[in-house]
Amino acid sequence: MSSRVEEIIRRRVLTEVEKYPFFQRAVVALSGGKDSGSLLHAFIDTYPNKEVIPVHLNLGIKGFSEASECFAKMQAERAGLRLMVFNLKRELGFTIMDAERLYPKVCSVCGGFKRYLLNKIAFELGADIILTAHHLEDFLVRMLKSVLNAGFEELARFKTYLPRNGNLIAKGRPFCRVPESLIVEYAFLKGIPFLSEKCPIGRKENVERFRRTVEILARRQSQKLLYFSSLTKLAEMLQNSGAVTMPELTPCSSCGFLASSEICSFCARMKKIRAFLGRDQAP
């Protein structure tokens, strides 16, 4: 018999995923943490007939990436699946720690790399969708930041599901209405192994401040859900108002994936990092 926590999570995953058009092959981004480990488990539990490919990106962060990969592997094995690992150092010749030397605000670069690589991998695997484990508070923080910083374009672009666009695979966030506290309960209840250590190079003070603000503003889960609905409505209104213009996407002249500039930010940054490392290693 399933517990209350399992039931809530299953219901919320189901409600969200039922809004997506039909799909069969899903890539689940597995970091080794509690959120993605729980998502993999909850998704398989809810949709046992879908094809799931767990993918882990090893970012080469010393003392952290080794452990993350190890936990991701355990989570995949526990679900009876084989983990696919993409190792940045091996495949691209540099790590996120190398990138940090050139880009001290490394999280935005790292986030962009992860999005690009997951899309490329999913595209090559012929997947229909990429599922990530962003939860309720992740969304509230992002949306609140956009509103307070007048980042209306960012808010207008906000979606819990992004349909496929050319070579950009569809993206779904089945945990968007699940609070973090429930995910923690679920992970312990289901005995999901996860790495609780935080990334040692991430500078997310700003995010943490917003996170604390969300906790002060919404003491109860129902309040968080209400704020989420209000902000989602606001994002939809902005999208439909025509007040913000969406950038036109064209194929990147280097890799061919759709981007808002002639050369995509991944290719441009990768070129810079490789040139920087080349200079660095020159005699």
Residue 111 CB, shortest distance to Zn ion, in Å, is 16
* 98-117 binders of ligand SF4 (CB under 6 A): 106-107, 110-111
Q: Is 252 in the site for Zn ion (CB under 5 A)?
A: yes
Place of tokens 């219901």: 11
Give the integer Cα–Cα distance in Å for 157 and 140.
Answer: 14
Give the integer Cα–Cα distance in Å for 107 and 205.
Answer: 11
> What is the pairing mode between strands 258-259 and 250-251?
antiparallel
Tell me which of 202, 234, 254, 274 binds ligand SF4, using CB under 6 A. 202
Token pair recorded at residue 146: 């956009």
The DSSP code for 168 is B
Tell me which of 81, 201, 225, 277 binds ligand SF4, using CB under 6 A. 201
- Of how many residues is the chain composed? 283
Q: Is 255 in the site for Zn ion (CB under 5 A)?
A: yes
**Binds 254: which of Zn ion, ligand SF4, none (CB < 5-8 Å by kind):** Zn ion
For Zn ion, the closer CB: 52 or 267: 267
Q: Is 168 in the site for Zn ion (CB under 5 A)?
A: no
Give the integer Cα–Cα distance in Å for 187 and 180.
Answer: 11
With contacts defined by CB under 6 A, name the span among 76-84, 197-205, 211-219, 230-238 that binds ligand SF4: 197-205
> What is the pairing mode between strands 51-58 and 25-29?
parallel
Residue among 151, 116, 145 nearest 257 (CA)? 116
Angle in degrees, CA 242, 244, 246, rounded to 5: 100
Q: Is 44 in the site for ligand SF4 (CB under 6 A)?
A: no
* 205-264 binders of ligand SF4 (CB under 6 A): none
Please give the size of the binding site for ligand SF4, defined by CB under 6 A: 9
Instruction: State the residues that interact with ligand SF4 by CB under 6 A.
Output: 59, 96, 106-107, 110-111, 199, 201-202
Instruction: State the residues that interact with Zn ion by CB under 5 A.
Output: 252, 254-255, 264, 267
